[in-house]
Structure 1
Amino acid sequence: MFRGKTEEIQGKSIKLNDQKMNKYRILILVLFSGMAYMGSSCSTSEKEEDQKPPNIIFIMSDDHAYQAISAYGYGLNETPNIDRIAKEGAIFTRATVTNSICAPSRAVLLTGKHSFVNGKVDNVQPFNWEQDNFPKLLQANGYQTALIGKIHLDGLPTGFDYSMVLPGQGNYYNPDFLVDGERKRFEGYVTDITTEEALKWLKEGRDQEKPFLLMYHQKAPHRNWKPAPEYLTLYDDKDFTPPSTFFDQETNYAGRGTAAKTQEMEIDGHASWGHDFKMVIDPYGDSTGFDRELARFNPEQLAAWNAAYDPKNDAFKEAFGKGDESTFSSEKKREIAHWKYNRYIKDYLRTIKSVDDGVGEVLDYLEANGLAENTIVVYTSDQGFYLGEHGWFDKRFMYEQSFRTPLLVRFPKEIKAGTEIDKLVQNLDFAPTLLDYAGIQAPQEMQGESFRNLVSGKTGEWRDAVYYTYYEYPSVHMVKRHYGVATKRYKLIHFYYDIDEWELYDLEKDPNELRNVYDDPEYEDIKIKMHERLQELREKYGDSDQNDQKYLDAYLKVMEERKNR
């Protein structure tokens, strides 16, 4: 009896356990399915993240020489934040420009076309905003775009959802900005304001769901190098040694042609006591007009400025301001030139300190907000600059210091940290490269090439020569019109208009470009090859003597109109 009951109970028990097991099986299946779904979901999310178009922050400073970025190893100053881009990405050691002057360089950046094609050959001709530019193409493909800082191109910028730009050169202190075309004055220091407004747009002004392009452009370190209040005495305890070629003018630029001898960009000779060396009264008791520039300062800014500069100016005048300069010994003249160089280079580097601070703030924002991995960060300048080489300031020449420009790019997804590129990349390449990263086909009329595969290490193939033009003469600094071709080792330049001179340099043997070997019989074969290469590039890009004449006529017409106003 009990056995039967037991069997019955056991049978029910077995049936009950089967039911429980079925439930357990279902539960396990559900759990595994959920985990699989979650895994699949994560995988999909990661894929979606990888497929997101990259954000782009394009940082351009004005006249920032590669020699004044510590990553390039010249030892002049420290730029730890700009260096971060190189350490975590790539540094380009032979990046160059197509036309070494502010507005034309920016037109090339936007359009990906040489100056004689986009029409902005100098700082005088108008820029046609109606033509395609790469921000317009990004905007048309879902990007939100902003331009904040200096662009130095007349007219309302197009291709941007938001623009806040300096009118012309702008002011270092209490600058005006054109905010979507409306002029507004901002109290403070221009570099700090540009950074603050760039960060404000990143935090509050953009659609957080869209990829973005931010063109974050600083005025500094453009002439006349007014430092921020906190850096007015930076480097006061340091004496900078001028470059080895600083006193080239003493030999009348021996070994070079007319263009080097007739320029007007010498630190000791063409820079002014007021505008450049910051004296209201010059060493000989004459007013310089610099007080008119100081009128823009508020009382607090002016007090800080005077406290920093007056003692230094007075000390110089006490030491060198007495007597007739024409009677000074060559040694004393050199001491004055040395002082001028130090006043120039210290102010120049002081303005860069603020630029570097701003770059650090932007990079920190990207890190703190999880944007660093999918954001391309570019740091560059509109061209290079002379920091006393050959005794000069400014740019314009095809000689190395103004022809080359700093270029550092970070994009963790594709660019290996510590990459170094020595190929002849140009500012002509920025537009097609950034479009390539965004997955957008560059228009056929863009003349540059994408260096995306070059910097990622997918290819080592690249162009072997670059083409250069310069048109703004006769004008400020009096650098002759010229065009030329450069390879990794050689450079051929033709100076024209009121002269007809050729210069050829061997950069391997003569990195300072002190000896023109154009007429040297040993370089005859090289000269022939460089002429052939020059002609090939002029044909490739569509340049000609007719272009030179067209833009010369247009330039002279504008200058004559200005003269007659």
Structure 2
Amino acid sequence: MKRLLLPLLLLTTTVFAQQPVARNPKDLVLQKIKGSKPRNVVFILTDDHRYDFMGFTGKLPWLRTPNMDRLYQDGTWFKNAFVTTALCSPSRASILTGAYSHVHTIVDNVAPEPPENIYFSEYLQKAGYQTGFFGKWHMGNEEDYPRPGFSHWESFKGQGVYYNPELNINGKRVQYGDSAYITDLLTQHALDWMKGRDKSKPFFLYLSHKAVHSPLAPAKRHLGMYKNEPYKVPSTFYQTRSDEYKKLDWPEWVKQQRYSWHGVDFPYHTYQGIESLVQTYCETLMGVDESIGSVMDYLKSEGLDQNTLVIYMGDNGFSFGEHGLIDKRHFYEESAKVPFLVHCPELFQGGKVINKMVQNVDVAPTILSVAGLQPPAGMVGKSFVPLLKGNSTVWRDKIFYEYFWEFDFPMTPTVFGVRSDKFKYIRYYGIWDTNELYDLEKDPDETTNLINKPEYAEIAKKLGAELFDWLEQTKGMQIPLKRINRSPFGDYRHKKML
């Protein structure tokens, strides 16, 4: 027994000795870019907004998003923008840290924030920026504590609610009535903060909406505006309904998930059909579009619309029936790809589409660069300002993806993937039937898995090697487990299904 206990004791001691020590933000080292002038920045983030649900894409002929359309017409649309993990908390942490999920270790929606993570807002704050955060933080099972790097913050616990919300404003909780709609409330408070700012200093506004996360609730003025509008289901909607999917070499988990609340036969723990779900989603999105319009109108009234960098994006995509799935998490296009619009006429000419692949890890280094600061070495992303300017620059030819299995959402396995402009390779852990390979140029809907075709064996081997090289080089060969105590079936969705 003693021989068994001693190594265990030593191991326990070692583990505790390796626990991170909280850093002091005052110790942050700023490396300024010579000759640069700090630029005002507005970053608007939404939840679960998929990449093609914007009016100008034509995906839904009846969807009207005039203010997103205006950002596109006067700015730039990154048509191939992706997140490194298609899940709220990991994606938001990657935005703030410029790091992959296995590095910042916020790998799911309940993992706690490590004290050693440093957010780009902290660099801006130390550089003299006025920084304001409004809305959904949603990293870990967090309380509404002060947001690092923000001198003014207004937030709420977890997902929050659409109506009758409570905000924690700089440590003071304020309850609002039933007439208060969260998208409008956050927008108005953000505008009030910009109006009251010190105009002698640059500012950074982070407006983080709850919309369009479920359970969906449009503003009352938008309720029913898309009622009876048609939704044409995707080409892969029915392919897992019969054994036909086996001929296409789709994984078994994809078929089985269609019968869960992440599948089209039980749409997202609601009793709505897929068409009704899409209609309500788009009605909820209208409040976000109006929020963008209000922010842009204010910037124009102050003469700031030409020189302020405005970025709009979603924290992950969303499936509406593709492969028989609802929700995100997986590495199919509609899950990992997000809307990404950038506006700053003084910096670049508008009205163009950029096809180069960008990711959420590029947000932090981009914002720091326009603030006149060199991104720290720990940020793996790159500033996409050269792409906006049309400058010749060496850019990535592939992106990488990861998702770690969750206790509360066991329908999706652990996923690692790599995507180039032509191919996508998906490797799973926890399933035994098949991985996936798609030719995105010939098969953009990802209908036919090529993984077992002999003529594609070398391509799969090459992409698999690149995937493992990435994991090794970024210290991602071990799953970053978190000590989280959860009761079996503790999630309300499981209770509802039981």
Classify the TM-score, shorter chain: 0.7 to 0.9
Which of 230, 239, 251 is 2:221 aligned to? 230
2:191 paired with 1:199 = yes
| Alignment of structure 1 residues 305-324 onto 2, 5 Å | none
Which of 34, 52, 62 is 1:67 aligned to? 52
Structure 1 residues 488 and 265, CA gap change in structure 2 (3 angstroms):
farther
Instruction: Please say if residues 124 and 558 of structure 1, whose CA atoms lie closer than 8 Å, have aligned partners that are also in contact.
Output: no
Specify the alignment match of 1:175 in structure 2: 165
- Secondary structure of the residue that 1:374 maps to in structure 2? coil
Instruction: Please say if residues 366 and 385 of structure 2, whose CA atoms lie closer than 8 Å, have aligned partners that are also in contact.
Output: yes
Specify the alignment match of 1:482 in structure 2: 415
Specify the alignment match of 1:93 in structure 2: 79
Specify the alignment match of 2:29 in structure 1: none
Post-superposition offset of 1:78: 1.6
More helix by share: 1
Specify the alignment match of 2:241 in structure 1: 250
Residues 65-102 of structure 1 deviation map (CA, whole Å, 9 limit, x = unaligned): 11211233313512110121111111001111100000
* TM-score in terms of structure 2 length: 0.85
Specify the alignment match of 1:156 in structure 2: 146
Residues 386-405 of structure 1 deviation map (CA, whole Å, 9 limit, x = unaligned): 12323332100011101111
Post-superposition offset of 1:560: 5.4
Which of 117, 126, 130 is 1:131 aligned to? 117
Instruction: Please say if residues 167 and 175 of structure 2, whose CA atoms lie closer than 8 Å, have aligned partners that are also in contact.
Output: yes
Structure 1 residues 365 and 341, CA gap change in structure 2 (3 angstroms):
same
Which of 185, 190, 197 is 2:182 aligned to? 190
| Alignment of structure 1 residues 520-535 onto 2, 5 Å | 520-535=453-468
Residues 280-332 of structure 1 deviation map (CA, whole Å, 9 limit, x = unaligned): xxxxxxxxxxxxxxxxxxxxxxxxxxxxxxxxxxxxxxxxxxxxxxxxxxxxx
Post-superposition offset of 1:129: 4.9
Specify the alignment match of 2:292 in structure 1: 359
Specify the alignment match of 1:291 in structure 2: none
Post-superposition offset of 1:270: 2.3
Specify the alignment match of 1:259 in structure 2: 253
2:90 paired with 1:104 = yes
Specify the alignment match of 1:466 in structure 2: 399
CA distance in 2, matches of 1:51, 1:481: 43
CA distance in 2, matches of 1:397, 1:198: 33
CA distance in 2, matches of 1:262, 1:475: 17
Give the total of aligned pairs.
Answer: 445
> Which amino acid in 2 is paired with 1:199?
L
Instruction: Please say if residues 252 and 433 of structure 2, whose CA atoms lie closer than 8 Å, have aligned partners that are also in contact.
Output: no
Which of 210, 220, 224 is 1:219 aligned to? 210
Residues 528-547 of structure 1 deviation map (CA, whole Å, 9 limit, x = unaligned): 22122212222332211xx2
Instruction: Please say if residues 255 and 324 of structure 2, whose CA atoms lie closer than 8 Å, have aligned partners that are also in contact.
Output: no
Specify the alignment match of 1:40 in structure 2: none
Instruction: Please say if residues 60 and 231 of structure 2, whose CA atoms lie closer than 8 Å, have aligned partners that are also in contact.
Output: no
Residues 495-518 of structure 1 deviation map (CA, whole Å, 9 limit, x = unaligned): 103547421111112211122111
Post-superposition offset of 1:233: 1.4
Post-superposition offset of 1:209: 1.3
- Secondary structure of the residue that 2:81 maps to in structure 1? coil
Which of 265, 271, 293 is 1:269 aligned to? 265
CA distance in 1, matches of 2:392, 2:266: 46
- Secondary structure of the residue that 2:436 maps to in structure 1? strand
Cα root mean square deviation, aligned: 2.1
Instruction: Please say if residues 484 and 492 of structure 1, whose CA atoms lie closer than 8 Å, have aligned partners that are also in contact.
Output: yes
Structure 1 residues 538 and 168, CA gap change in structure 2 (3 angstroms):
same
Structure 1 residues 212 and 562, CA gap change in structure 2 (3 angstroms):
farther
Instruction: Please say if residues 226 and 347 of structure 1, whose CA atoms lie closer than 8 Å, have aligned partners that are also in contact.
Output: yes
Consecutive unaligned residues in structure 2, runs of 5 or more: 1-34, 492-498
Consecutive unaligned residues in structure 1, runs of 5 or more: 1-49, 279-339
CA distance in 1, matches of 2:236, 2:425: 21
- Secondary structure of the residue that 1:402 maps to in structure 2? helix
CA distance in 1, matches of 2:95, 2:187: 21
Residues 346-393 of structure 1 deviation map (CA, whole Å, 9 limit, x = unaligned): 100000111101110110100111011220000000011112323332
Specify the alignment match of 2:445 in structure 1: 512
Structure 1 residues 159 and 130, CA gap change in structure 2 (3 angstroms):
farther
Structure 1 residues 51 and 108, CA gap change in structure 2 (3 angstroms):
closer
2:393 paired with 1:403 = no
